[in-house]
Amino acid sequence: MPRTAYVNGRYVPHAHAQVGIEDRGYQFADGIYEVVPVIAGAFIDEDWHWDRLDRGLAELRIDRPVNRKALSLIGRRVAGLNRVRDGLVYVQVTRGEAPRDHKFPTKPVPPALVVTARHLPVPKDLSEARMIDVITGPDERWARPDIKSISLLPNVLAKQAAAEAGAYETWMINALGEVTEGSSANAWLVSRDADSGRVVLRTHPADRHVLNGIVRTALVALSGQHQWQIEERAFTLDELLAADEAFQTSSGNMIRPVRSVDGRVIGTGEPGPVVQEILDDFAAHVAAQGGV
């Protein structure tokens, strides 16, 4: 079936969707994007995604192209036109089209909005542990990865490095020796205090150095229901290798337990009990929104 895209007020065949060559997204990566997962026709954690989009637009001083209700309706129509019940809706907003100049346009121009949708296989059981292997590499991104910018070249190179190493993802390490996040996911470890037996989930703080993922946000919200505690605190590679369990979170792949890092097995190398509990809880969280 031919695909359909929304481009600046029009629904057009995907193959013929176009923006001008002086669009600032093309010229300068002057824009942001958002990806909303669709499961069984339900937009999962939709409001959190639109909140993050609004925050990015405000940080870059780009006007909203449409209000939130209209954007939600556009996203649903694009998903429907493409018959996407399991997949992703991609939203991109740029500062718009203007003569090439590094500074903002001196005359007001409307922001450009593109919305597309594509199918993505979703496991029949979201609580299934689909393990991955990870490598590490230097964090070479710009200083504001908390903004979901369309400027993703360092992330592309990190993801390619993982692919060439036969791994699924690269977890990036900053100049302080701390793991920040993956090229397209938030990084987590699980440890147990030897004295108290308390289970701790650690992940980098949601500051300017990482993107605050929506699945990450959901897990923080769900943590109050359990005995384990979330610590938003950076961890080193040595701490990661010594962890009982590790996993990553992202809207595209939800929760993926980590089997190994740089060829070193984490824990037993099998899905651990804490990550399995998290998988079960997140599956229930999605089901409560109609994603079954």
Instruction: Specify the CATH number for the domain of residue 153.
Output: 3.20.10.10
Instruction: Calculate what percentage of the chain has a pLDDT beyond 70.
Output: 100
Task: Identify whether the C-beta of residue 181 lies closer than 8 Å to the C-beta of residue 206.
Answer: no
Number of domains in the chain: 2
- Summarised one tens digit per residue, pLDDT across range 66-114 is 999 999 999 999 999 999 999 999 999 999 999 999 999 999 999 999 9
Both 160 and 258 in a single domain? yes
Give the pLDDT confidence score for residue 87 in this predicted structure: 97
3-state class (DSSP) for residue 127: coil
Both 103 and 177 in a single domain? no
Both 33 and 169 in a single domain? no
- pTM confidence score: 0.95
* Of the residues 86, 119, 152, the one at which a domain ends: 119
Q: Is the pLDDT of residue 27 over 80?
A: yes
- Summarised one tens digit per residue, pLDDT across range 126-184 is 999 999 999 999 999 999 999 999 999 999 999 999 999 999 999 999 999 999 999 99
Residue 125 lies in a domain: no
How far apart are the C-alpha atoms of 50 and 77, rounded to whole Å? 16
How far apart are the C-alpha atoms of 11 and 46, rounded to whole Å? 22
CB atoms within 10 A of CB 152: 17
Task: Identify whether the C-beta of residue 89 lies closer than 8 Å to the C-beta of residue 115.
Answer: yes
* Of the residues 92, 119, 146, the one at which a domain ends: 119
Q: How far is CA 1 from CA 114, 255, 287, in A?
A: 20, 30, 28
* Of the residues 119, 146, 165, the one at which a domain ends: 119
Q: Which two tokens stand for residue 70?
A: 């209209």
Residue 170 lies in a domain: yes
Nearest to 32 by CA among 6, 65, 79, 75: 65
Active site residues: 148
The residues, any chain, with a CB within 8 Å of residue 28's CB and separated by 6 or more, are: 102
Q: Which residue is listed with tokens 């449409």?
A: 66
Query: Which helix (H) or strand (E) covers residue 101, if one does?
Result: none
Both 153 and 74 in a single domain? no
Query: Which helix (H) or strand (E) covers residue 74, if one does?
Result: helix 68-81
Instruction: Calculate what percentage of the chain has a pLDDT beyond 90.
Output: 91
Residue 148 lies in a domain: yes
Residue 154, domain extent: 132-287
Residue 82 lies in a domain: yes
Both 198 and 281 in a single domain? yes
Both 137 and 259 in a single domain? yes
CATH number at residue 111: 3.30.470.10
Both 141 and 92 in a single domain? no
Residue 127 lies in a domain: no
Both 115 and 149 in a single domain? no
Both 167 and 107 in a single domain? no
Both 205 and 281 in a single domain? yes
